[in-house]
Structure 1
Amino acid sequence: MERSKNRILTTHTGSLPRPPALTKLYAMRSRGESVDASEIEQAGHASMLEIVSRQIDTGVDIGNNGEQQREGFFLHVRHRMTGFGGSWKRWPRADVEGYPVFKRSLEQQNSAKEMVSNFAPPKVIGEINYVGATEAVRECTDFREALEARKRDGKSGFVEAFLTAPSPGIVVAAIKNEHYDTDDAYLAAVGRALQVEYEAIANQGFLLQLDCPDLALEHHISFQDRPLGDFLGFVERVVAAINDGLRNIPRERVRMHVCWGNYEGPHDRDVALETILPLIVRMNVGALVLPFANPRHAHEVRCLQGKAIADDQVVVAGVIDSTTNFVEHPEVIAERIERVARVLGDPARVMAGTDCGFDTSAGAGRVAEDVVWAKLAALREGARLASDRLF
């Protein structure tokens, strides 16, 4: 894994806006409407090619395929695993439920969108097996070919490239179990299946980013009416399942993203980072991708003081808010980067990133596409300013 040796490197959390036509295809398929599989494949591939070049041209140092060939950061597993069927409505978010006026406004906003909802997932009704190895490898191959094509054309590329895969915890939390005798058996089955995807990414030479919102978000969703200890037990089991799935991948080739949900909302029921950090640092990863731009968690940078994380771990600090159309001033971004560097005591262990993805489920993003790219350009400039002062 690269480090910010002479300057602060920039990256993001994975998902980038999909074109409206591609979003519509994904939304239609998620509703059970007839969609030509080859049409989705071609549209996703074309969008991936464009998004790779745009990231590089905008100044993203460590980028990916924008998740263009998936309808969401975890919902794509239903096309790569057996055992899923039907649908159900997930538990509501506790913070949103506490504000009825806001809830109605949010529902009205979402009803007007063409989107794939993370809150209407399938259920597990049979045995989980990973049967999408070919698709996983093809996604990697397509991404590699896009990077190689730029190189042949004499154009610049990424400093390093990554691809994302979901935590087994978000799958078992969002996809209701109607098959396995115990939740532990369900988690184990999903963990074994996802190991195939993890290793496909790593074996192609890409960094693996694990998307683990479940390790924070599920406290105010699945566990909102249960004791904190129950939630922390869930976090421990998920971390253990992930470590098992990573056993063939070097620690320094993996980074892990945790957040409290990529939505604008009160977030006043969020579990504190200091509560979960001692558990999530047990994960065998080389970098933590944490949100420090949003107003609910920006102060939690201080949780990284001392020996809170291992000396060899990097922090990808979220210094761009992925839920607002404000374009952060480069000086604000630089100040946020410098604060993390001061806490860690070593700017080489800091990268600049986004709090979360900009389109974690197709069409669900709140930030307009043109604003997304303005934010990423500001990220590049803020990192430059911070680099001038830190190195």
Structure 2
Amino acid sequence: MTEILTTHAGSLPRSPELIAANAARPVGEDGLTPEPTDEFREVLAQAVVDVVAKQKEIGISIPNDGEYGHLMGSAVNYGSWWSYIFDRVSGLEITGQDHISAEPVRSAPGDVRLTSFPDRRDWTIFADAYQDPTSGITTGEQPTFPAATGPIAYSETGRELVAQDITNFRAALEQVGYDRGYLAALSPGSGSRIVDDHYGDADAFLDAWVEVMRPEYEAIAAAGLTVQIDDPSIAENFDQINPEPSIEDYLEFTRKRVDAVNRALVNVPTEQTRFHLCWGSWHGPHTTDIEFRHLAPLLLEIDAKYYSFEAANVRHEHEWTVWQDVELPEDKVIVPGIVSHATNVVEHPDLVAQRLERFARIVGPERVIGSTDCGLGGRIHPQIAWAKLASLVEGAKIASTRL
């Protein structure tokens, strides 16, 4: 029997103790980086051990640190996968300007540009629902976003923080009894979505982010861990372009972000790389998401062994058929989302098995790892999140037996 392995997309629920300890840290003079304390470091190290042990107890095959080093000061947080990097990069500054509600930017054929967050097409089509606090739609509390006001670089603080992540996670792996794991890191394309008040050129700003992120990727890989590149910009950007671009223009725009990932990964072994693609993770209609069939061939151009993508939520579950038409190279593995962060309903293990079997019958069970659509931490209640992971593991066992 070929066992179908299990993992998840990254973020896991933080413990109340970790959230409280993080929220209690004093903020430094730059307004971005909270001051470290010995007490906080101790709480964080123990929390990483606990979350790795919880994954082992449930039966997750390939764990991570829950992204606990990507800190959250509250139980609900949709943006820590991105905002964590603000602590690690020099050249960023809180300017006092509200970039989130900036004037809308308009695109044109051959000149694709991202608009402001409130001008996203899904948000404007369903404006009444988004503005109704009883609708169930939530994007989480938005952090204060900095702007690049000078040359950006991966800072000494960044090197210390990624080293702390690695040390905590490797200690937890050894203590709990895992022989492998992964750490998540931001993509250059996603980093470059903050406001640029220095470079004045989108391509130059993207190039700068390639140089920023490379040291983090290399540090994780050098520690013998797998690097997961978190990159919603590949798919989510499509909703943030007004008016809607042609598929051809969007893919040309996006290929630059794919190239940026590959350049940042130049010194990281392919077998130690996995790439996570998602459509943004907020709890909303998502009617303006680009179809996966347009992105799958481009996804395979990324220099990774493992490809993680949403496949469980109701906007994208049907797209498992894409792999009937797109040939997966023999040395690659798909990591589809089999349980979703977008619903509080816990998927039945038999449904999990059915979803896994669809992929396994196309590419082979040895080239499928069951995962989550996106991070569960900060998006659904911890009790539900852990129940979903338990169902994922049980369903993978059923599918392995059937196959």
Does TM, normalized by the shorter one, top 0.5?
Answer: yes
Check conservation: 1:192, 1:245, Cα contact below 8 A.
yes
Does 2:156 match 1:137?
no
**Alignment correspondent of 1:349:** 367
| 2:314 is the counterpart of 1:280 | no
8 Å CA contact 1:30–1:116 kept in 2: the answer is: no
Residue correspondence of structure 1 range 68-83 to structure 2 within 5 A = 68-71=68-71, 72-83=80-91
Q: Distance in 2 between matches of 1:14 and 1:166?
A: 12
Q: Give the letter for the 1:258 counterpart.
A: L
The residue number in structure 1 matching 2:92 is: 84
Q: 1:126 is paired with a residue of what secondary structure?
A: strand
Structure-2 separation of matches of 1:290 and 1:238: 17
**Structure 2 equivalent of residue 171 of structure 1:** 191
Matches within 5 A, 1:370-385: 370-385=383-398
2:142 is matched by which residue type in structure 1?
S
Residue number in structure 2 paired with 1:148: 174
Q: Cα distance 1:109–1:21, how it changes in 2: closer, same or farther (>3 A)?
A: farther
Summarize the Cα distance change of 1:138–1:36 in structure 2 as closer, same or farther, 3 Å threshold: closer
The answer (yes or no) to whether the contact 2:2–2:365 under 8 Å persists in 1 is no
- Does 2:214 correspond to 1:195? yes
Deviation at 1:225, TM superposition (A): 2.6
Find the counterpart in structure 2 of residue 45 from structure 1: 45
- Alpha carbons 2:270, 2:305 under 8 Å: kept: yes
Query: How has the CA–CA distance of structure 1 residues 30 and 105 changed in structure 2, closer, same or farther, with 3 Å as cutoff?
Result: farther
CA shift digits 1:97-118 (9 cap, x unpaired): 211332023598799x9x7636
Q: Which residue of 2 aligns with 1:162?
A: 182
Mapped partners of 2:35, 2:302: distance in 1: 40
Match of 2:145 among 85, 102, 121: 121
Residues 27 and 234 (structure 1), Cα distance of their counterparts in 2 relative to 1, 3 Å cut:
farther
Under a length normalisation based on structure 2, what TM-score does the superposition of the two structures give?
0.85
> Could you tell me which residue of structure 2 aligns to residue 154 of structure 1?
none
TM-score (norm 1): 0.88
Name which of 242, 253, 257 aligns with 1:224: 242
Per-residue deviation, 1:95 = 1.1
Q: 5+ unaligned residues in a row in structure 2: which ranges?
A: 72-79, 101-115
Q: State whether residues 220 and 270 of structure 1, in contact with CA within 8 Å, keep that contact through their aligned partners in structure 2.
A: yes
| Alpha-carbon distance between aligned partners in 2 of 1:166 and 1:319, rounded to the nearest angstrom | 23
How far does residue 160 in structure 1 lie from its aligned partner after superposition? 2.6
CA distance in 2 between partners of 1:378 and 1:135 (Å) = 33
How far apart are 1:143 and its partner, in Å?
0.7
Deviation, structure 1 residue 35: 5.8
Q: Per-residue displacement from partner, 1:76-102 (whole Å, max 9, x unpaired)?
A: 111111011116315133213211332
When structure 1 is superposed on structure 2, of 86-95 and 7-16 the one drifting more is 86-95
Helix, strand or coil for the counterpart of 2:90? coil
Question: Counterparts of 1:354 and 1:267 in 2: how far apart (Å)?
Answer: 18
Alpha-carbon offset, residue 141 of structure 1: 1.2
Q: Distance in 2 between matches of 1:353 and 1:323?
A: 14
Closer/same/farther in 2, CA of residues 107 and 246 from structure 1, 3 Å limit: farther
RMSD of the alignment, in Å?
Answer: 2.5
1:269 match: 288
Q: Could you tell me how far 1:320 is from its partner in structure 2?
A: 0.2
Q: How do 1:352-367 residues align onto structure 2 when only pairs under 5 Å count?
A: 352-359=370-377, 364-365=378-379, 367=380
Give the aligned length.
369
Q: Alpha-carbon deviation of 1:25?
A: 5.6
The one-letter code of the counterpart of 1:357 is G
